[in-house]
C-alpha cells in the first residue's frame, strides 16, 4: 500500500509538514463549518486560535463535535485524500510494534504496521501530528506510508495487539516473582534447623563409617541415601520428614552453588567441621527424572602419615618403588580405574620426595591431599587452566618433580614426556587395566616409541582390596567340594587343605566383616627386554609376558598372597582382579 498526498493543497514532502500544520487546520475547519451544523462549543473552537504545534488540535476539535470517531475519520480521510482503514482492516494487517513504547502509541493514537508489499506505514487519527510521523520514520529508518483510522479503532487495535504481549509479560513477571518466592522459601527451609541437623548427621555418619562418598538421590518413592564404605555402597535410612529439595538445597548452599539452577550439573567445594574433625567436601549435583541428585566426596584433612608401608606393597615391590623414587628424572605412571587408590599412591610418593632441596609442583583435579612444602594447583578449565596449560607453565618454574593428576589427551602426554626428557621427575596417572597396557596407550596418544624408551621408568598398576576385620574374620580350610564348586580356586593356585579366611561381621565393622582397604599392586619396570618391545606395533600381552619373565608380580598374585596371609577373602580377590 503506497500512500501519497495528492490533494494539491498539501504536498507529500517532509519539508512541507510544518506548512501543512499551519495551513491545513484552518482550511479543514472551514470545510467542517460549511458541511456540518456545529454546536456553539465547536464553533467557538473553530473560530478560535489554532495551536498547531501541540499535535492534538484535531482530537480537541473532534471532542467538541457531535460526530462519531468513525465519521470524523471519514472527514479527515476525505479532506486530506488519504486512505481510510476500518477496524477489521487494522486487525488483519501485520503490526510492527517493536521499538515503540506502548505509552507513545496510546498517547499519539498511532498503529505502526507493515503492508503486504513490505512497506512500513502507520495508521493515525491525526495526520497533522508531525512528531508522531517523524518518530515512526526514526524507528523504521525510512519514510512511512500514512493511512487514516479513527481514534477508537486505533485504540481497540492497540488493546488487542499489545494486550496479549502485556499479559504474557505480566505472566512472566508473575511466574518469575513466584519462582523467586519459591527459591526464597526453599532457601529459608534449607537454612532451618531440621534440615541443617539432617545434613550434619549425614556428614557425622560418613566420618564414623569412614565413607568416601555420600549419595543423595531422589526417586519417585522418596529420598534415598547411600554411602560408599570401603569401595562399596551401603544404604542408610533417609532423613525423616525432610523434603528432598530442602536437603539438596542445603547441600548446594554448603558448597556455594546456585540453588535456583536445577537444570544443569554443578560442582562445588567446602570445608566443614564435623564434631572434632575438619573435613573437605566436594559436591557434584546432577538433574534427574525426579529432581536433583547430589554426591558429596568426603576428604578428611587428617588422614594420618603417608607412608610406603601403609600402601600394602609387598617387600619386593616396596624396594622397587623406593629405588624408582631415587631417580633424578624420567616418568613414573600409576594406572587403574577410578577409585583404585592412584591419588593416595601418588601422594605417598610425593611425601617421600618432599625435601627442602627439591621443588615439587602438582596440578590435580581436585587437590585431595594437602602436603606442606609442595606447590599444589587445581585445574580450572573454565578459565583455561588445564593439565596441559599448567604443565607448560611448570617447566618455567624450575621444578625438580612434577606431578600431573591425569594424562587425558595427547597434548598433556607430549608435555609430560618432554618434561621428563629435560631433567624432571614426572609422576602421573592413566586409566588402563594393567601396567603393560599403559605403554600402547601412550603410543596411542601420539608418543613416539623412542621417546618412551628413553623417558618411561616404570608403570605401577593397582586395585583396592577390602581388608578383613581382625575381630570377626573366620578361618576356613578349603575342601574338595570348595575346589569343585569354584574351579577358579585351582586356577589361581589354591589347594585342598589351605586355610583362607571369610568375613564374619561384628559391631566394629558394622556387620560387613571388612574394615579398611589395602592395595594389590604390580610394578612394571622398563627392562631392556621390555624396551625392545616398545614400538608402533606394541601390544600389552607381549610386554606383560616379558615383565613377568623379568620377575614382575601381577596384581592377581599380590592379591592371592594377601588372601593367604589372612588380610582379605577369596571373593575380594575375584572381585578386583582378573586371571591372566
User: Contacts from 258-267 at CB under 8 Å and sequence distance 24+?
Assistant: 259/183, 259/186, 259/187, 259/190, 260/179, 260/183, 262/287, 262/291, 262/292, 263/287
Confidence of residue 28 (pLDDT cuts 50, 70, 90): confident
Q: Based on the fold, state whether residues 292 and 399 are members of the same structural domain.
A: no
Q: Based on the fold, state whether residues 215 and 275 are members of the same structural domain.
A: yes
Q: Based on the fold, state whether residues 312 and 287 are members of the same structural domain.
A: no
319: domain range?
308-466+516-557
Average pLDDT over residues 303-327: 87
Q: Based on the fold, state whether residues 288 and 341 are members of the same structural domain.
A: no
Q: Are strands 375-378 and 456-468 parallel, antiparallel or unpaired?
A: unpaired
Angle between helices 151-190 and 69-80 (to 10 degrees): 120
In tens, the pLDDT along 500-550 reads 999 988 888 888 899 989 999 999 999 999 999 998 888 899 999 999 999
Query: Residue 411: pLDDT above 50?
Result: yes
Q: Based on the fold, state whether residues 289 and 314 are members of the same structural domain.
A: no
On whether residue 387 sits in a domain, the answer given is yes
On whether residue 205 sits in a domain, the answer given is yes
Residue 12, classed as helix, strand or coil, is: coil
Q: Based on the fold, state whether residues 390 and 296 are members of the same structural domain.
A: no
Q: Based on the fold, state whether residues 325 and 276 are members of the same structural domain.
A: no
Which CATH number goes with the domain that contains 127?
A: 3.30.300.160
Q: Based on the fold, state whether residues 386 and 335 are members of the same structural domain.
A: yes
Average pLDDT over residues 35-64: 56
Which CATH number goes with the domain that contains 415?
A: 3.40.50.300
Confidence of residue 1 (pLDDT cuts 50, 70, 90): very low
* pLDDT number for residue 187: 65
On whether residue 184 sits in a domain, the answer given is no
Q: How far is CA 275 from CA 197, 208, 209, 299, in A?
A: 12, 10, 14, 15
Which CATH number goes with the domain that contains 269?
A: 3.30.450.90
Pick from 12-26, 265-279, 387-401: least confident: 12-26
Q: Based on the fold, state whether residues 274 and 350 are members of the same structural domain.
A: no
Rounded Cα–Cα distance for residues 136 and 11 (Å) = 19
Q: Based on the fold, state whether residues 104 and 251 are members of the same structural domain.
A: no
On whether residue 509 sits in a domain, the answer given is no
Query: Residue 190: pLDDT above 70?
Result: no
In tens, the pLDDT along 195-227 reads 888 898 899 899 888 899 999 999 888 889 999
Phi/psi region, residue 160 (left: phi>0; alpha: psi -120 to 50; beta: rest), is alpha
Rounded Cα–Cα distance for residues 251 and 257 (Å) = 9
Q: Based on the fold, state whether residues 266 and 396 are members of the same structural domain.
A: no
* pLDDT number for residue 23: 61
On whether residue 220 sits in a domain, the answer given is yes
Length of the chain: 580
Q: Based on the fold, state whether residues 439 and 315 are members of the same structural domain.
A: yes
On whether residue 186 sits in a domain, the answer given is no
- Angle (CA) 447 387 398, round 5°: 90
Query: Residue 75: pLDDT above 80?
Result: yes
Q: How many domains does the chain have?
A: 3
For residue 228, what are the β-bridge partners? 213, 233
Q: How far is CA 300 from CA 126, 206, 211, 268, 344, in A?
A: 78, 10, 10, 17, 13
On whether residue 476 sits in a domain, the answer given is no
DSSP 112-129: EEE-TTS-EEEEES-TT-
**Where is the domain boundary, 279, 300, 321?**
300
In tens, the pLDDT along 103-136 reads 788 888 899 999 888 889 999 988 888 888 888 9
Amino acid at each position: 500500500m503506497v500512500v501519497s498526498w495528492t490533494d494539491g493543497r498539501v504536498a507529500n514532502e517532509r519539508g512541507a509538514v510544518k506548512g501543512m500544520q499551519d495551513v491545513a487546520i484552518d482550511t479543514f475547519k472551514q470545510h467542517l463549518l460549511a458541511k456540518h451544523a456545529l454546536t456553539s462549543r465547536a464553533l467557538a473552537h473553530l473560530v478560535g486560535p489554532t495551536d498547531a504545534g501541540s499535535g492534538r488540535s484535531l482530537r480537541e476539535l473532534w471532542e467538541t463535535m457531535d460526530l462519531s470517531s468513525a465519521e470524523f475519520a471519514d472527514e479527515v480521510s476525505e479532506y486530506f485524500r488519504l486512505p481510510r482503514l476500518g477496524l477489521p482492516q487494522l486487525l488483519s494487517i501485520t503490526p510492527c510494534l517493536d521499538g515503540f513504547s506502548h505509552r507513545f502509541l496510546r498517547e499519539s493514537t498511532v498503529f505502526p504496521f507493515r503492508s503486504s508489499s513490505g512497506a512500513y506505514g502507520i495508521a493515525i487519527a491525526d495526520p497533522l501530528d508531525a512528531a508522531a510521523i517523524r518518530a515512526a520514520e526514526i524507528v523504521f529508518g525510512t519514510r512511512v506510508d500514512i493511512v487514516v483510522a479513527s481514534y477508537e479503532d486505533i485504540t481497540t487495535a492497540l488493546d488487542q495487539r499489545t494486550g496479549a504481549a502485556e499479559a504474557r509479560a505480566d505472566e512472566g513477571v508473575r511466574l518469575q516473582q513466584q519462582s523467586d518466592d519459591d527459591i526464597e522459601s526453599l532457601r529459608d527451609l534449607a537454612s532451618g534447623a531440621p534440615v541443617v541437623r539432617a545434613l550434619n548427621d549425614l556428614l557425622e555418619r560418613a566420618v564414623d563409617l569412614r565413607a568416601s562418598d555420600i549419595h543423595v538421590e531422589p526417586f519417585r518413592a522418596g529420598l534415598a541415601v547411600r554411602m560408599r564404605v570401603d569401595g562399596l555402597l551401603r544404604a542408610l535410612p533417609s532423613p525423616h520428614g525432610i523434603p528432598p529439595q530442602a536437603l539438596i538445597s542445603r547441600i548446594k548452599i554448603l558448597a556455594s552453588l546456585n540453588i535456583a539452577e536445577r537444570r544443569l550439573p554443578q560442582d562445588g567445594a567446602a570445608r566443614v567441621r564435623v564434631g572434632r574433625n575438619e573435613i573437605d567436601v566436594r559436591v557434584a549435583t546432577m538433574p534427574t527424572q525426579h529432581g536433583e541428585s547430589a554426591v558429596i566426596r568426603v576428604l578428611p584433612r587428617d588422614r594420618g602419615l603417608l607412608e610406603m608401608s601403609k600402601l600394602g606393597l609387598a617387600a619386593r615391590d616396596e624396594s622397587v618403588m623406593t629405588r624408582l623414587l631415587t631417580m633424578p628424572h624420567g616418568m613414573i605412571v600409576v594406572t587403574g580405574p577410578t577409585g583404585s587408590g592412584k591419588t593416595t599412591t601418588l601422594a605417598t610418593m610425593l611425601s617421600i620426595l618432599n625435601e627442602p632441596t627439591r621443588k615439587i609442583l602438582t596440578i590435580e583435579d581436585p587437590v585431595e591431599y594437602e602436603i606442606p612444602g609442595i606447590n599444589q594447583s587445581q585445574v580450572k578449565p573454565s578459565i583455561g587452566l588445564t593439565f596441559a596449560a599448567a604443565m607448560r607453565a611448570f617447566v618455567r618454574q624450575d621444578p625438580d618433580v612434577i606431578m600431573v593428576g591425569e594424562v587425558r589427551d595427547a597434548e598433556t602426554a607430549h608435555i609430560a614426556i618432554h618434561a621428563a626428557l629435560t631433567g624432571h621427575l614426572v609422576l602421573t596417572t592413566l586409566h588402563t587395566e594393567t601396567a603393560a597396557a599403559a605403554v600402547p596407550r601412550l603410543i596411542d596418544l601420539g608418543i613416539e616409541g623412542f621417546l618412551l624408551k628413553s623417558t618411561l621408568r616404570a608403570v605401577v598398576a593397582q586395585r583396592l582390596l577390602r581388608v578383613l576385620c581382625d575381630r570377626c574374620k573366620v578361618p576356613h580350610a578349603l575342601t574338595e567340594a570348595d575346589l569343585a564348586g569354584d574351579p577358579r580356586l585351582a586356577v589361581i593356585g589354591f589347594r585342598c587343605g589351605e586355610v583362607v579366611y571369610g568375613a564374619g561381621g561384628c559391631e566394629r565393622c558394622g556387620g560387613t566383616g571388612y574394615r579398611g582397604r589395602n592395595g594389590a599392586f604390580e610394578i612394571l619396570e622398563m627392562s631392556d627386554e621390555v624396551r625392545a618391545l616398545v614400538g608402533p606395533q606394541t601390544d600389552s600381552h607381549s610386554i606383560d609376558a616379558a615383565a613377568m619373565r623379568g620377575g614382575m608380580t601381577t596384581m592377581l598374585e599380590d592379591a592371592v598372597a594377601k588372601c593367604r596371609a589372612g588380610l582379605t577373602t577369596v571373593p575380594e580377590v575375584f572381585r578386583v582382579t582378573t586371571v591372566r
